Amino acid sequence: MTTSLSYYEQVGGAPAVRTVVDGFYVRVLDDADLRPYFAGVDMPRLKRHMVVLLCSVLGGPEPYEGRDLAEAHRGMGITAEHYAKVGEHLLSVLREAGVGDEILQHVVLTLNKVESSIVAEPAETAD
C-alpha cells in the first residue's frame, strides 16, 4: 500500500514554506507598487500568518485559523492588478524553490478562489 505525499510534504514542510514566505516578502517589499500596502505592518507577525496559511493551502497538518481573508484585507483598497502582482511574486518564489507544476496549479486555483475576498477594486475593462 502506498500513500501519496501531500503538497505540503512534497515541498519540504514548514521549513521550506518559511523559506518561500521570506523570499516572497523580499520580492513584495522590493516592488514599489506593492510596498505601500505594508507600511506600518508588523512583518514578523504577517509572515507567521502567511506561513500557516500557505502550509494549510498545501495540505499541512495545521489548519489556518487566522482572520478571515476578507476581514484582514478590508479597507486596504487592493486592486486586481496588485493582487495579480502578489500572485506572480508568490509563484516565482515557489518555482525557484523547485515546486512542481501540479502544486503551482493548485496555488493558482486557490489564489483565484480567494481573489474576490481580497480585491476591493476590480480590474478595469477596456471599453
Structural domain for 92, as ranges: 7-118
Q: Is the pLDDT of residue 126 over 60?
A: no
DSSP 3-state of 17: helix
| 127 is a domain residue | no
Q: Is the pLDDT of residue 5 over 80?
A: yes
| 125 is a domain residue | no
The whole-model pTM stands at: 0.89
For residue 79, what are the CA distances in angstroms to 94, 101, 114? 23, 27, 14
CATH of the domain at 15: 1.10.490.10
Q: What is the pLDDT of residues 31-73, one digit of tens each?
A: 999 999 999 999 999 999 999 999 999 999 888 888 888 999 9
Q: What does the angle CA 39 – CA 35 – CA 124 come to, to the nearest 5 degrees? A: 115
| 38 is a domain residue | yes
Report phi then psi at 92, rounded to 5.
-60, -45
Quote the pLDDT of residue 125: 53
Rounded distance between C-alpha atoms, residue 21 and residue 17, angstroms? 6
